[in-house]
Chain A
């Protein structure tokens, strides 16, 4: 009996979420992104190195490291 209600709330939440995220995108993301885009090439779209392999730098070799999500 609650299913239609939950489904409605979920859909409603998703719509609101999408609107909010659109606002966030143009208000909060935009200024950072415009600067970021100008200085960084994190996706290597501009540079073309002779090899796209780079050293593996992640450190995750102890239980302590492994408890982290980053």
Chain B
């Protein structure tokens, strides 16, 4: 595939959880975005804003009370329309490599890293024979910079950083065109965060994959992203080029601005209040009670226009009339 060709195309994706007493929770509403070859899109937002639900929807891992609508095209497949057999047999691992939030919990405690890698190689690549499996597993470890002399260790004998590399090695095995990383750096210290993020970036740059990263860590996002999608109360409220978003131009949505201003190397001032309940969203802009730019217009739902969903977005320098 060539640079720039779209790998994942999401259109109008919504997820509703049906709760007891006919309540519904609007966890994701009308999400639209693309991820292309050689590109990293980073999805950021406050805890509980729906990031993980969106990822689970793409992988077909939502619980039974979830209702999904819209489209998510991965090549010729609509991920939201195919059955569980297809997802388990041809999508997860093969077309989407998943890098989990807590790798240690994702690995089986009673088996060594070598045995994890060999099993995955056998399942995803059709490699047969002991010697061939062994060398393919060692190659897989090397691709993720997992040290060869640690291959016979058990997951609990690994530091957080090495467990993360083991998980990355597993995710890279099937040559999946799309990598999905949900909070890949939570709980790691800063050096390990930087290392993990740089390694993921390297795989995208060198192997022509597309990468979707979900994170609440804005410095990790700034380090890895080509583009940023900001999620608030289940909606993507801004899509931006990372350099503009984190650079001097800054974000255009008031919520995105607030998030950046909360960083300890910026103003360190929290956005007032808390996010609204996804079971009881207002009719208009869900950010209105916390926003400094609210007017009467904000009682109506702002539509996504020029990649920002706000009635009064900040206007980037240089484009002012």
Q: Do A and B bind each other?
A: no
Q: Interface on A for B, CB 8 Å cutoff?
A: none
